[in-house]
Amino acid sequence: MPKPKKTVAMRQLDNLRVPYEATWHPPTYDAESAALESGIPLAQIVKSLLVQLPGRRYVLALVPGDRKLSLHKLGTALGQKGLEMAPHDEVATITGYEPGSVSPLGLKRKLSIVVDDTVLALERASISGGRHEAGITLAPADLVRATGAKVADITQ
């Protein structure tokens, strides 16, 4: 079987010279299935959640798979009120990725990114590779550096 092609997210990491491990697994559509199929603990799977700010602006929140995003805490970190999850049908238009495969790398649009501070305590973090069957595992500090993310307490 031929080796799968690198995703846009993987190529971005290559260009930045950030070390990572690519993983390929059967298609998954949420953090729980990604953990199951990849054999990576749910706490190390980092979800990319698209949040809509007032004025139809967006931010990407990165949270561990075993935690829930707090829109209140995210709003506090951003100095914003009135945050809500972006409509499901707008995710691909805004990010360039289908829901369930959003990577914080290789985004269609420049988005602000906020990563939950608990991610930095992980030895390794696993993010979507930008396809339902692709994952990327890397050091949390490299994830922050590669995405230019702000670090804040945004989970409950």
Whether 101 contacts 128, CB under 8 Å = yes
Would you tell me the crossing angle of helices 140-147 and 8-16 to the nearest 10 degrees?
Answer: 90
pLDDT tens for residues 130-146? Answer: 999 999 999 999 999 99
Q: What percent of the chain has pLDDT over 90?
A: 94
pLDDT tens for residues 62-97? Answer: 999 999 999 999 999 999 999 999 999 999 999 999
Confidence of residue 152 (pLDDT cuts 50, 70, 90): very high
Q: Tell me how crowded residue 82 is: count the other CB atoms within 10 A of its CB.
A: 10
Sheet holding 21-24, edge to edge: 21-24, 134-138, 125-128
In the chain, the domains with their CATH numbers are 8-152 (3.90.960.10)
Q: Tell me how crowded residue 132 is: count the other CB atoms within 10 A of its CB.
A: 18
Q: What percent of the chain has pLDDT over 70?
A: 98
Confidence of residue 2 (pLDDT cuts 50, 70, 90): low
Q: Mean pLDDT over residues 105-114, rounded?
A: 96
